[in-house]
Amino acid sequence: VTVRVSATGWARFGKRSEPLDELMAEAGSAALEAVGRKSVDHLFVGAMAAGPFAGVESLTARLADRLGLIESTAGFRVEAASASGAAVFHAAVLAVAAGVADRALVIAGERMTGLPTPEVTRILAQSLAPSEARAGATLPALAAILTQRYLARHELPPSALDAVPVQFRAAAAKNPVAQFQKPVSVEEVAASRPVALPLRLLHCAAISDGAVAAIVERSQGEVEVLGIGEGFDALAIADRAELTSFRATRVAAQRAYERAHLTRREVGVVELHDAFAPFALIDLEDLGFAGPGEAAGWFARGWTRPDGRLPVNPSGGILGRGHPVGASGLAAVASVAEQVRGGAGALAVARRPRVGLAQSIGGIASHNFVTILGRPEGA
């Protein structure tokens, strides 16, 4: 069975005044327009914490109503913390591959800027293990601990992180739907205020609103879903066998590569989950591209730039595009789809890829997803 992504649609990321369901409808409507308003029989909706963040629930029925999709046969909301957007895409792919759905509209979004920062931090921390949340842990705290272990293990200085936001913010400046439209310098990153050292403000994702959508259907085409995979790890970082690599990514990647019958060598573009700059390094290693401890060298040498040997986050990634948490996983998939289709505009990488990979991290990497998209060989 061939499942493909036939369209994508966006509601600009950043600080938005519209309510969450309106942002999601904006993205969904853009995707439906892109396929000429063809009928969809399933609606899949992804959000991490629509109620706590945005005070809205019953999102699937709300969107079916708002988008004129009440003739559709089914709809579901899917949640996997900050990987909700990837999880809901996978759910739609499974439904289409199973023959249950013919054409599905997938929409993922979050609206977070309506709350004060400590409240956003508290809601995000609900994705953590209760034992670690009780100790007063937050996502940046645990990310900082993992980063310390990573830097120590590979004998890297904290400055090894700084090239990551510099590259992604430069990319985002070309992306009209990105939250951040201005590049930053290495000096600005190094001088930004400490959040939990070695992590500074510009190493960390922003608080964002936004939504993204995709149409998934059963038919052959330019952007086929070649493989999907997911993986879990212990909820508490204290319970994990490894602290400098994410098991959940490695398992997800292995499954996706196996299902796609290909290896990392065939991948020509990557959108990975960089909620914290060091995650981009760990991800690049977990996905099999860079060896352990080598990813910082890839960034330093420019290998990950849009004209490099493996373009990484040409959309700007989470650090540049913004991080409406429920949307980010689908944003990565949609960005890869646009690169493979040749529809990335100013964001197009130097060599149009035949195959691209999107990776998404749920919580503190307890539930991660990998999606491989591509054109069939010879197409």
Partner 1 sequence: VTTVRTVAVRRCADCHSAFLPRPGACPRCGSTRVTAGSVGAAGRALAAVELQYPPPGFAPPHRLVLVELAESIRLLAGSPNVLPAPGDSVAVRTDGERYWLDDPARAE
Residues contributing to the site for partner 1 (CB under 8 A): 117-119, 121-122, 125, 131-138, 140-141, 144-145, 148-149, 152, 193-197, 234, 236-239, 243
193 vs 265, beta carbon nearer partner 1: 193
30 vs 234, beta carbon nearer partner 1: 234
Residues 366, 361: Cα–Cα separation, whole Å:
8
Q: Which two tokens stand for residue 348?
A: 């197009």
Residues 176, 284: Cα–Cα separation, whole Å:
26
In contact, 211 and 108? CB cutoff 8 Å: yes
91 vs 125, beta carbon nearer partner 1: 125
Residues 309, 319: Cα–Cα separation, whole Å:
21
132 vs 217, beta carbon nearer partner 1: 132
Kindly provide the b/e burial profile for residues 235-265, where b requires at least 16 CB atoms within 10 angstroms of the residue's own CB.
bbbeebeebbbbbbbbbbbebbbeebebebe
Taking the complex as a whole, the smallest distance from the CB of residue 277 to partner 1 amounts, in Å, to 16
**Dihedral-angle region of residue 171 (phi above 0 means left; psi in -120 to 50 means alpha; beta otherwise):** alpha
Q: Which two tokens stand for residue 261?
A: 């019958």
Please list the helix, strand and coil fractions of the chain in percent, rounded to the nearest 5, in that order.
Answer: 40, 20, 40
Taking the complex as a whole, the smallest distance from the CB of residue 52 to partner 1 amounts, in Å, to 13
Say whether 80 sits in a helix, a strand or coil.
strand
In contact, 231 and 249? CB cutoff 8 Å: yes
Taking the complex as a whole, the smallest distance from the CB of residue 152 to partner 1 amounts, in Å, to 6
Closest CA to 45 of 370, 329, 363: 329
Cis peptide before 198 (omega within 30 of 0): yes
131 vs 220, beta carbon nearer partner 1: 131
CA angle 113, 118, 120 (to 5 degrees): 40
Q: Which two tokens stand for residue 148?
A: 């310390």
